[in-house]
Structure 1
């Protein structure tokens, strides 16, 4: 490593970040930074790097060097990511779980207030799912839930949020639907119809052919005048009214 610089040892973006850190330390600052390195085989490692200035004995205001200690924290970061995933994800469908969805919705309500844009929550209840379980067993029922989850995800934007509340109930959070109420409602209804249509596609399983359906309720929100729990309860109520009504038209 003698006579080599960061530019010789690391990718340019990493080297530039390290040089910037060194410049701060040489000005007298002590730094603590996470540094991500991509190794020659494409593997990524993460280091916790602490750097301190070394001051001259004769001139306490003069920095004559840098003392740096780097600790490989790759395994710890991977464990943190796994713990976060386990805490926020439904283990069957790979969707978000109830707890994390309510946290996301609470944040969305705050953003709706600050950005003055409409959002929506869509509540989905799979019709006659218990009958499917009773007829073909829980393995088929689980595979059906997994398949339906994948179908719903394909109808959504990347920034939309979908979660399984439990059993055969799902919720979707739509953010940033615009500042004009009717336009926002039209967008929410369009997504709800796409979800309903995706669920109604034939489900095939060895020795099983099943045509499912869903009751879908939508509620709009603007700002944070209601709590996350109140918004979801309102969407649930909207779904319930549609489920037990002859008029199955989705409304907001």
Structure 2
């Protein structure tokens, strides 16, 4: 059953918060603070662990920022609907994992929510960096923290018996993504393109660690992922519009 009243109700509150940003954009910071604290407690109550608050909190903040960067009304409404669905998925996945941490379907929901959250964080933070002249170190720090927390909250699900190892690998992922965004910051592309490329690079690294934890890592899988995702990145970059140089 993919419909649960409590996660749905809280997701509707989240949707209402995004609509408030559209109509009262001058108060975006206040609305984001409300959504952040609201999501923190709901994630914890749903999953019965603090780690399940990571996705709703980061997703709320990044969704609000991305929505603020969208100017066309119909695009805003489409974005709000998609964000609402992903927010519900994150809460519903947390709820099911809180009931039974071996739920494979819920783990898949959590993985999808984690990737969506990172894409939103990567894109929104780079959008703020481009549009508001934020110092580069803040951008790198945002990538570091988001990657660390999101990686930990997923990897601990599949290797719950060794938190220290999970923290170490999560920190390594965070360091790599910090280096990645430093390089990407020199590229002449928009925030959605950079966010997509950053997510692909993260997924390649994340999948290696995940496969290692699950003991199904192979050279063939590594080579296949590298070729496939390298091709995807090349296609994205060749089809993306370059930003004018300053």
TM-score, normalized by length of structure 2?
0.30
In our comparison, the structure showing a higher alpha carbon Rg is: 1
TM-score, normalized by length of structure 1?
0.29
